[in-house]
Amino acid sequence: MLLVCSGNICRSPIAEQVLRAELALYPQFAVSSAGTIARPGMPMPEQASRMSRLMGGDPSAHRSRRISTTDVAQADLILGMAREHRGGAVKLLPSASRRTFALLEFSRLAASIGEEGLAQLQGSDPVTRLRDLVSAAASQRGMVPPPDVPDDDDVIDPYLKDDAVYEQAVDQMGPALDTILRVVRSALTPPRFS
C-alpha cells in the first residue's frame, strides 16, 4: 500500500503509520508513503507526530520522500489524501488508475462491497485477496454516488495550520481508515467452508 499527499510530512505518514500498526499481523504487506512535492528527509511536524501517536502510529523514524514511478508501479493499492494526489500518482503511471483512489473515495467504495461481495473474493493468499478487493472497489466507481461536493473526497491539509485543523484532518481520516481496516481484514479472511 502506498499513501500519498503533498509534502509527505502530515497526512500520508499519519495514515501510513496507522495502517502499518493495524496490519502488523500481515507481514506480507508493505505500507509506505510519499509526497508529490516532498523535500526528501524532512521529519513530521510535532502536531502531525502527536496525531499519529494518538491514532496508534509510530512517527519516530519517518522522513519524507518524493513519490516515484517505481513506487506507483510496485503498489497494489495507492491512496491519495486528496484527489490531486490520486491524479499525481496516475500521471506518473497511467496504468495504475484502477488501483489508485483518494482515501475517502476508497473507504466509500470498499464499504459498498458488503459482506456478500467480500465473500466472493477468490484468492486464497492475503496479497491476492487484497488485489481482488482493490478490483472490486474499482468496479464500484460509477455505481456508488460520489459526494455532492467533490472536495468532500479530500482530507484537509493541516500543514502550517493550528491544532484545530490537524484535528479536523484526523477527524476526516479516522473513520475512513477504520472502514478500510474493517474491509481489508474481512477481505483477508477467506470464507470457511464446512
23-64: per-residue pLDDT in tens? Answer: 999 888 899 999 999 999 999 999 999 999 999 999 999 999
Lookup result for grid cell 470498499:
110
Q: What is the pLDDT of residues 80-94, one digit of tens each?
A: 999 999 999 999 999
Q: Smallest Cα–Cα separation from 16: which of 101, 79, 109, 105?
A: 79
Give pLDDT, residue 191.
Answer: 60
Q: What is the CATH number of domain 2-188?
A: 3.40.50.2300
Give pLDDT, residue 190.
Answer: 66
Question: How far is it, in rounded angstroms, from Cα 53 to Cα 62?
Answer: 12
Per-domain residue ranges of the chain: 2-188
